[in-house]
Chains A and B, each alone.
Chain A
Amino acid sequence: NFMLTQPHSVSESPGKTVTISCTRSSGSIASNYVQWYQQRPGSAPTTVIYEDNQRPSGVPDRFSGSIDSSSNSASLTISGLKTEDEADYYCQSYDSSNPVVFGGGTKLTVL
């Protein structure tokens, strides 16, 4: 079994850029797609990035995703931070033994 490890929390000021990491414990991060979800309090998660770096329609281009094989991690970058971006963010991936694995989630505070 592999795990996806995210920082518990990050904070940044409006207008700045923040990056949230998602590190895979075993197996290559590049072998299986990584998805990213945003979850606001009291709401179901919504997809902000799918298949490593694809944005669903309606998601601003301030959101971007990337993969770094050297650190075996995926990253979600949000630029031009807005107060409305304050939420919990989760990464998700899979492999042949673990069809669905979520990261522990990162609380983003926009101060």
Chain B
Amino acid sequence: QVQLQESGPGLVKPSETLSLTCTVSGGSISSYYWSWIRQPPGKGLEWIGYIYYSGSTNYNPSLKSRVTISVDTSKNQFSLKLSSVTAADTAVYYCARPAATYCSGGSCYPGWFDPWGQGTLVTVSS
């Protein structure tokens, strides 16, 4: 079965760029959408964005100006970069794969997320 594992620095300084990688094991990254979701301590889930294995992306409008998601099919990995971070970006960051996609009118949307990675806490602090 497919498993996801996040990796990257646990501490990032304010104004710098947060970089995380999600490694996919037990299956190919091809032919699927792949997503990043975060959860500030004690708060709810926030979708960050997703990427199709071919490279097309869709980002949360509230984060769009600072987010870049990329994919490396040769390594079976996809990555997140979030620039100009502040303390408000402190969160547990999850990578996840939609178990299904819903396509209509030329656009596709992720269904329920399964599996998820275990999550990695990133703290923004000097």
Contact with B along A79-110 (1 / 0, CB 8 A): 00000000000101010100111111100000
Bound-complex Cα distance A33 to B60 (A): 19
Which A residues have a C-beta under 8 Å from some C-beta of B? Answer: 1, 32-33, 35, 37, 43-47, 50-51, 56, 90, 92, 94, 96, 99-105
Q: Is the CB of A96 within 8 A of B105?
A: yes
Question: Known contacts A90-B44, A101-B47, A104-B44: does B113 contact A47 (CB below 8 Å)?
Answer: yes
Task: Return chain A residues, CB-CB under 8 Å to B47.
Answer: 99-102
Task: Return chain A residues, CB-CB under 8 Å to B50.
Answer: 99-100
Closest residue of chain B to A35 (Cβ to Cβ) is B112
Contact of A99 among B99, B110, B112, B116 (CB under 8 A): B110
Bound-complex Cα distance A71 to B37 (A): 29
Q: Is the CB of B109 within 8 A of A105?
A: no
Total contacts A-B at CB 8 Å: 68
Q: How far does the Cβ of B106 sit from chain A's closest Cβ, in whole Å?
A: 10
Chain B's interface: helix, strand, loop or mixed, by majority?
Answer: strand
Q: Which of A1, A45, A47, A104 has the most CB of B within 10 A?
A: A45
Q: How far does the Cβ of A55 sit from chain B's closest Cβ, in whole Å?
A: 11
Question: Known contacts A35-B111, A99-B50: does B45 contact A90 (CB below 8 Å)?
Answer: yes
Bound-complex Cα distance A50 to B104 (A): 19
Bound-complex Cα distance A45 to B99 (A): 14
Known: A45-B113, A50-B111. 8 other contacts (CB 8 A): A44-B94, A45-B94, A47-B114, A51-B100, A92-B112, A92-B113, A99-B58, A100-B47
